[in-house]
Chain A
Amino acid sequence: MSNARKFLADRRTEIETHPGVNHLLLNRLATAPFSREDYQVLAENHIPLVCMFTSYLEVLLLRAPDSAARLWLAKVLVDEYGEGSDGHDHATLYGDFLTACGGDPKAVQKGAVPRPAFEFIRTHRDLMRQRPFLVGLGAVGPGHEWAIPKMFEAIIPGLRRAGFSEGEISYFTLHVEQDDDHGSWLEEALADYADTAEAQAQIREGAMASLEARRRFWDGVQRAIVRYRQPRAIRPDGPLPRSVPKELLITAWDGIPGARRVETRLRSLLRSRRPDIPGLLAHARSVGR
């Protein structure tokens, strides 16, 4: 096995066992009966990532150093635009899933992107634009295409248990099949470059940064699902020990009649500062040009 192929094989193992790919939330989705309402929260948080993915590839396509790399990226892009899914692009397929959950894709498009998704997108936007090409390729190749089949394999059984039809969850089942191909194609693109220590370091940097962002994203989704069920039952510092004064302060804050209104307004203010999905896409594509 060549140096590059061995490096990529090692990365595949590293990615498939990464905490971001094997997040506790995903394993909970696999083992516990979540409801359609829970999946709606997940979908509303997840759909911005789906909508943005092609923009990463488009930026990389323009930055690719040669035709070979452009070819592999273009092949993946064509699939994402709907080549392998009867002309429906992946964002549309995900919208169908969101509708099946009880959500409204149009409303989600108009609203501000949820914070976990926004942070994930910002990380990736920076990786694509500000870091070397191979860092970006590491993020979308190993960081996405190698990771997604494993993550979705955890999600799909739970969706079936919740009563979704195969048509409603086709976005997920399609990706388990397609991303195996996409992963192989991007591995071909990477194999041509991953023969120096510097290149390998850049590819790994991109993949790890993407997976770390993914881990934080799943943390945020987990929190959103709990908050949906119990808006007042969760505190950001979770189970960590609190001092007596801190415990008293939290309680005093909860006891103020207007505290909930203040929290809601603050959250709404922060949300209004975040863009919507079309805004993020327009920004990403303008940079690409």
Chain B
Amino acid sequence: MRILLVMPTPFEGGRLGLENVVWLSEPVALTSVGGAVSDEHEVQILDMRLEREQSLAETLVRFRPDLVGTTSMTTDAYQAKAVLRTAKQIVPSALTAIGGHHPTLSPDEFDEPYIDVIVQGEGERTFQELVERWDGQRSIGQLDLSGVSGTRWRDGAGVRHLEAQRSQKRSLDSLPPPDRSLVSRYQGRYFFLMMRPMASIFTSRGCSFDCNFCAIWEYYERRVRYLSAEKIVDQMEACEEKYIFILDDNFLVNRKRLRAFCDEIERRGVKKYWMTQGRTDFVADNPELMERLRDCGMLGLLSGYESNDDDNLASLRKRSNYDKNLRANRLLEDLGIFSTGIFMVRPDWTKAQFQGLYDYINTLKIGLPLVTILTPLPGTQLYRAKKHELVTTDHRLFDLLHPVLPTRLPREEFYAEFARSVDAMKPSIRAAMQAFFKRRRKILLPELKNLAWFYARTWRFQRLVRDPQTFLRDEEGLLNGPGAHLSWDDIRYPDAQAPEPMDASGEKVDSLWTADLPHSEGRAAK
């Protein structure tokens, strides 16, 4: 059977965006599900972020897949749907399936006639069973996925059926490893900052924290599972690339595991440079372990610093503080680990608060500060609390670069303050780069060519971001959400005393999986 897996692009072809300037990682979601079936079936991955627009149609015509699958985060939900609609039009006999973060958390949005199957939760086993079942049927009119847990499927009469929730308790070691050969033709084109070629792997799923702006912990049902140290290092050894990005949502979380990981790297003598994501409180509290991780190849860390204000951090349920952020970044600087920090400005901010954040970033000396806008992403507690106040429901604007809630400042002024970040944070970048170069000269010198490449792209991107009109043009005609006409007095933002919502009950997590099927006459969940 021929299977085409498509990574959608969050924006139209050729457009310069944060994703293709700062960080472009391998489509691990697709190499994972592809790896689960690639032994027995002919699988192709098409990464639309790196392809011309017409290659989707051309591939559909040439490859004539029996199954077309795609994945979707919130911002690329429309693009993912467009991919499957195109597939259904060109190859009507192909089964179309979608999975990933957004379809799992907002499945009703994907209840469309051109989408046969919505996969909820992690996909490897579900996809294996789905492919096996479809291989024996091969007729959309006769489609029957009864018993394939984790699916919402549409039968020949157009009725959507909801199957039981797929258990997400399996050890990660027991899952088939991602098949990176499926993206070998894009090798060399994935990168993080100036580090390329870059491979991407994951070593854990889930997060033990419960920030109200993040849905990861709900997606994985408050469970964190880890790949064993042996399996991680197996994957690292299998990568030809010099740089690896460990895509875990929070890599720095279990000291015992991290020590075992270092032991394994040292035992096998693996020489790779790697970057990952982790929390600053862990960094601040574990200086010795961080030093050991640095010695085992850790080159960069992407962390959510989020705010310069302890009250604001508390309102987000971040469970970290100003002091830890500061100590963490000092330690990273001393160790020569490049720090990339994500900060969130809030739609209710004043000009003074913007300036406070920029001053704070310059005090920290973050290598690459990324300033984003607090966004209630679908699936999060914040979304459930604020969805009636959204000024837009256009998912493309949920890219953390547009306020989707009403702003205290007029939007023009808000964007002017936001756009100012490019220049306001330069002292931070300059100081951090000097410190990093001093400590890691041997690594950086051979990469000067890539540094020039990165600089050129970011320079052009900065030109766009520096212009507030860029954001205003993006949202022109699209601010028609329920909160578009609310006045500032109608809005109540979460604060330290009352983070939104007041608590994170398990009931809310479960409701993601057992919601009724409002747009169909499907059977009740089994």
Q: Which residues of A contact B (CB under 8 A)?
A: 16-19, 21-25, 27-28, 30-33, 35-38, 150, 154, 215, 219, 222-223, 225-226, 228-230, 232-241, 244, 247-248, 250-251, 254-255
Contact partners of B83 in chain A: CB under 8 A: 24, 27
Please name 30 pairs of A and B residues whose Cβ atoms are closer than 8 Å in the assembled complex, sorted by A.
Answer: A18-B90, A19-B61, A19-B90, A22-B57, A25-B53, A27-B86, A28-B12, A28-B82, A30-B85, A31-B81, A35-B477, A36-B477, A37-B477, A222-B12, A228-B473, A229-B473, A230-B474, A233-B464, A234-B14, A237-B14, A238-B14, A238-B53, A239-B49, A241-B188, A244-B452, A248-B453, A248-B456, A251-B456, A254-B463, A255-B459
In order of increasing CB-CB distance, the 4 nearest A-B pairs are A35-B477, A19-B57, A238-B14, A32-B78
How distant is the Cα of A250 from the Cα of B455 in the complex, in angstroms? 12
Q: Which B residues lie within 8 Å of A230 (CB)?
A: 15-16, 464, 470, 473-474
Q: CA separation between A233 and B16, bound complex, in Å? A: 5
* A28 to chain B: closest residue by CB: B82
Q: How far is the CA of A225 from the CA of B476 in the complex (A)?
A: 12
The answer to whether B158 has its CB under 8 Å from any CB of chain A is: no
A239 to B52, Cβ gap below 8 A? Answer: yes
B259 at the interface (CB under 8 A from A): no
- Give the residues from 19 to 54 in chain B that come closer than 8 angstroms, CB to CB, to chain A: 20, 49-54
Is B351's beta carbon under 8 Å from chain A? no
13 new A-B contacts at CB < 8 Å, known A23-B86, A234-B14: A17-B91, A19-B57, A22-B86, A28-B12, A31-B78, A32-B394, A35-B476, A219-B53, A233-B17, A241-B188, A241-B189, A251-B456, A251-B460
**CB-defined contacts of A21 to chain B, threshold 8 Å:** 89
Docked complex Cα distance between A235 and B61 (Å): 27
In the complex with contacts A23-B57, A27-B82, A247-B457, A239-B89 CB distance below 8 A: no
Q: Give Cα distance in the complex from A112 to B470, angstroms.
A: 27
CB proximity to A under 8 Å, residues B437-487 = 449-450, 452-453, 456-457, 459-460, 463-464, 470, 473-474, 476-478
Verify A223–B453 contact, CB threshold 8 A.
no
**Which residues of A have CB within 8 Å of B17?**
233
Known A19-B61, A19-B90, A22-B86: A226·B453 in contact at CB below 8 Å: no
- The answer, yes or no, to whether B356 is at the interface (CB within 8 Å) is no
Chain B contacts for A37, CB-based, 8 A: 476-477
Do A31 and B459 form a contact, CB below 8 Å, given A19-B90, A232-B464, A235-B14?
no
Residues of chain B within 8 A of A150, CB atoms compared: 89
Residues of B within 8 A of A223 (CB): 14
State the majority secondary structure of interface residues on B: helix
Q: Which residue of B lies closest to A29 (CB)?
A: B82
Taking CB atoms, residues of chain A closer than 8 Å to B453 are 244, 247-248
Asked if A248 and B452 sit within 8 Å, CB to CB, the answer is yes
User: Quick one: which of A19, A38, A247 has the most chain B CB within 10 A?
Assistant: A19
User: Closest residue to B53 on the A side, CB-wise?
Assistant: A24
A10 to B: closest C-beta gap in Å: 15
B176 at the interface (CB under 8 A from A): no
CA of A31 to CA of B76, assembled, Å: 11
Chain A residues positioned under 8 Å from B58 (CB to CB): 19
The interface residues of chain B lying within 8 Å CB-to-CB of A239 are: 9, 13-14, 20, 49-52
Q: For residue A18, which residues in chain B have a CB less than 8 angstroms away from its CB? A: 90
Tell me if B151 counts as interface (CB < 8 A to partner A): no
**In the complex the two chains form, what is the Cα distance from A267 to B304 in whole Å?**
44
B478 touches A35 (CB 8 A): yes
Min Cβ gap A57→B in Å is 27
Chain B proximity of A176: nearest CB distance (Å): 15
Which residues of B come within 8 Å of A, CB atoms?
A: 9, 12-17, 20, 49-54, 56-58, 60-61, 78-79, 81-83, 85-86, 89-92, 188-189, 393-394, 396, 449-450, 452-453, 456-457, 459-460, 463-464, 470, 473-474, 476-478
A37-B453 Cα distance, complex, nearest whole Å: 35
- CB-CB under 8 A from A233, the residues of chain B are 15-17, 464, 470
Residue of B nearest to A249 (CB): B456
Can you name the residue of chain B whose Cβ is closest to the Cβ of A215?
B54
Q: Judging by beta carbons under 8 Å apart, are B53 and A232 in contact?
A: no
Considering only CB atoms, which chain A residue lies closest to B59 in the complex? A19
Q: Which residue of B lies closest to A162 (CB)?
A: B477
Name B451's closest neighbour in chain A (CB-CB): A244
Beta-carbon contact of A24 and B56 below 8 Å: yes
A16 vs B88: C-alpha distance in the bound complex, in angstroms?
11
A244 to nearest B CB, angstroms? Answer: 5
Which residue of B has the minimal Cβ distance to A35? B477
**Cα separation A279 to B519 with both chains bound (whole Å):** 51
From B13, B82, B394, give the contact of A238 (CB < 8 A).
B13
Are B470 and A22 in contact, CB atoms less than 8 angstroms apart?
no
B82 and A24 contact, CB distance less than 8 A: yes
Is the Cβ of B460 less than 8 Å from the Cβ of A17? Answer: no
Most buried by B among A228, A234, A239: A239
A239 nearest in chain B by CB position = B50
Across the interface, which residues of A come within 8 angstroms of B82, CB to CB? 24, 27-28, 30-32
Chain B residues, CB < 8 A from A31:
78-79, 81-82, 85
Closest to A253 in B: B460
Distance (whole angstroms) from the CB of B103 to the closest CB of chain A: 13
CA distance A236 to B396 in the complex (A): 22
A residues less than 8 Å from B15 (CB atoms) = 226, 230, 233-234
Contact A33 B16 (CB under 8 A): no
Q: Give Cα A25 to B89, complex, Å.
A: 13
Of A28, A225, A230, the most chain B CB neighbours within 10 A belong to A230
A16 contacts across to B, CB distance below 8 A: 89
How far is the CB of A173 from the nearest CB of chain B, in Å?
A: 19
**Which A residues are in CB contact (< 8 Å) with B456?**
244, 247-248, 250-251
Chain B residue nearest in CB terms to A154: B85
* Nearest-neighbor residue (CB-CB) of B458 within chain A: A251
- The interface residues of chain A lying within 8 Å CB-to-CB of B81 are 27, 31-32
Report the Cα distance A235→B464, complex, angstroms.
13
Distance in angstroms from B419 CB to nearest chain A CB is 14
Residues of B within 8 A of A27 (CB): 81-83, 85-86, 89
Q: Within the assembled complex, what's the spacing in Å between the Cα atoms of A219 and B484?
A: 33
